[in-house]
C-alpha cells in the first residue's frame, strides 16, 4: 500500500480526534474514503458524551455518515482510517458494512478487538474480513490519547 496516502488520510482522522478532545470526548477520529477516487465519504469523532449514546464511537458515526452519503448500508470496498484499534462493537459494524480495508493508528491492548482481545476478524463467525493495516501514525495517535487522559486525571 501507499504509505504517504495512508498518512494523508490518518492525518485527517487525527484532526477529528483533536476535535473530539476539544469537545471533552476521548480523542478518537475516523475517516472513510473511496479508494477508487480518494474522495472522503465521511469524517467523524467520538461523541458518546455529547450524544448520550454509548455507541457513538468515531467508527460507528463515520459508518452512519457514509451510509447516508451513499444511500446504502453496504460500504463494500471503502476504506476506514481510525486513530485507535477498533473495539468489538466497531469491528462488528465494520464487518457488517463490508469495509474493504481498515487502517488504524495506535493499538489498544485493553479494549481493541482487531489484534487484541477477541481478534474479531479472525473468528469463524465473522462473515466479512477487511484487509487490515495497523500502526499508521501510531505514535501520534497514542500521544494524543495519553495526553488527554493524563489531563483528565489531573
* Positions marked active-site: 59
Q: Is the dihedral of CA 27, 99, 62, 80 positive or negative?
A: positive
Q: CA 44, CA 55: separation in Å to the nearest integer?
A: 13
Closest CA to 82 of 32, 152, 38: 32
Q: CA 77, CA 106: separation in Å to the nearest integer?
A: 23
Q: CA 44, CA 56: separation in Å to the nearest integer?
A: 10
- Residue 86 grid cell: 477498533
Cβ atoms of 45 and 79 within 8 Å: the answer is no
Cβ atoms of 41 and 97 within 8 Å: the answer is no
Amino acid at each position: 500500500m501507499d504509505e504517504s496516502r495512508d498518512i494523508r488520510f490518518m492525518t485527517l482522522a487525527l484532526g477529528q480526534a483533536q476535535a473530539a478532545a476539544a469537545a471533552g470526548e476521548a480523542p478518537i477520529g475516523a475517516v472513510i474514503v473511496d479508494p477508487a477516487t480518494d474522495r472522503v465519504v465521511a469524517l467523524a469523532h467520538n461523541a458518546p458524551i455529547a450524544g448520550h449514546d454509548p455507541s457513538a464511537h468515531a467508527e460507528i458515526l463515520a459508518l452512519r455518515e457514509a451510509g447516508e452519503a451513499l444511500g446504502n448500508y453496504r460500504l463494500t470496498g471503502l476504506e476506514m482510517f481510525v486513530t485507535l484499534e477498533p473495539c468489538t462493537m466497531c469491528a462488528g459494524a465494520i464487518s457488517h458494512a463490508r469495509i474493504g480495508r481498515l487502517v488504524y493508528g495506535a493499538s489498544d491492548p485493553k479494549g481493541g478487538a482487531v489484534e487484541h482481545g477477541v481478534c474479531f476478524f479472525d473468528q469463524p463467525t465473522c462473515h466479512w474480513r477487511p484487509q487490515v493495516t495497523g500502526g499508521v501514525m501510531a505514535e501520534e495517535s497514542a500521544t494524543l490519547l495519553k495526553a488527554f487522559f493524563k489531563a483528565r486525571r489531573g
